[in-house]
């Protein structure tokens, strides 16, 4: 049993390392910087679209910065850093919450399918917390914001391509009342 666990962990490390190398080898050098999130790292978006999946599941385009509208923010692989390009949209949502004290949001953290269930739940929670922290820093009240992590339980893209994974690495800001 011990040998199996060691082998399993070794394969996981090799798989994650290979995925990381693949991502870094294929990424373009972007100019968008990220803010430091719960895991303390920073970096660019690796060429992945960080906003604007359109209106899937009732979520609007974060770049549109529509006050009080559901929003979706994307994350890099294995990261909980909020992209610099998403800060203006989050600020608009914070301003809406400030001016509408009865409004509340639930931030739903999500991951792609890579990683254990426990790891993905924790990563999804860090992603939700990162968005919540920015809303709070911009003036929204903690009582208006709840967080939940779904890990890999609620994918929006069902495939196994990097593009599918990128769409699933997100935090959804869902307005519960206005």
Phi-psi region of 36 (alpha: psi -120 to 50; beta: other; left: phi over 0): beta
pLDDT of residue 65: 75
Q: In the predicted model, is pLDDT for residue 140 greater than 60?
A: yes
Domain at 31-177, CATH from 3.30.1330.60, 3.30.1360.120, 3.30.360.10, 1.20.140.10: 3.30.1330.60
pLDDT tens per residue across span 83-131: 999 999 999 999 999 999 999 999 999 999 999 999 999 999 999 999 9
Per the structure block, which two tokens stand in for 36? 């430091």
Q: Which residue shows structure tokens 């609620």?
A: 154
**What is the rounded distance in angstroms from the CA atom of residue 86 to the CA atom of residue 99?**
20
**What is the rounded distance in angstroms from the CA atom of residue 129 to the CA atom of residue 171?**
9
| Average pLDDT of the segment spanning 142-155 | 98
pLDDT tens per residue across span 7-26: 445 444 444 444 433 333 33
Residue ranges per structural domain of the chain: 31-177
Answer yes or no: are the C-beta atoms of 130 and 34 closer than 8 Å: no
Contacts of 18 (CB under 8 A, 6+ apart): none
**What is the rounded distance in angstroms from the CA atom of residue 51 to the CA atom of residue 93?**
15
Q: In the predicted model, is pLDDT for residue 37 greater than 60?
A: no
């Amino acid at each position: 049993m011990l040998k199996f666990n060691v082998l399993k962990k070794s394969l996981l490390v090799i798989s994650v390392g290979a995925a990381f190398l693949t991502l870094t080898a294929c990424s373009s050098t972007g100019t968008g910087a990220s803010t430091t999130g719960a895991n303390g790292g920073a970096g660019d978006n690796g060429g992945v679209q960080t906003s604007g999946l359109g209106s899937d599941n009732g979520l609007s385009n974060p770049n549109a910065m529509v006050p009080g509208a559901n929003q979706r923010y994307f994350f890099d692989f294995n990261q909980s850093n909020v992209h610099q390009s998403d800060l203006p949209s989050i600020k608009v949502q914070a301003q809406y919450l400030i001016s509408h004290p009865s409004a509340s949001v639930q931030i739903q953290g999500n991951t792609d399918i890579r990683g254990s269930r426990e790891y993905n739940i924790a990563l999804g929670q860090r992603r939700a917390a990162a968005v919540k922290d920015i809303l709070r820093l911009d003036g929204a009240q903690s009582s208006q914001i709840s967080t939940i992590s779904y890990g890999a339980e609620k994918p929006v893209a069902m495939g196994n391509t990097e593009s599918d994974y990128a769409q699933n690495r997100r935090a959804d800001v869902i307005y519960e009342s206005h």
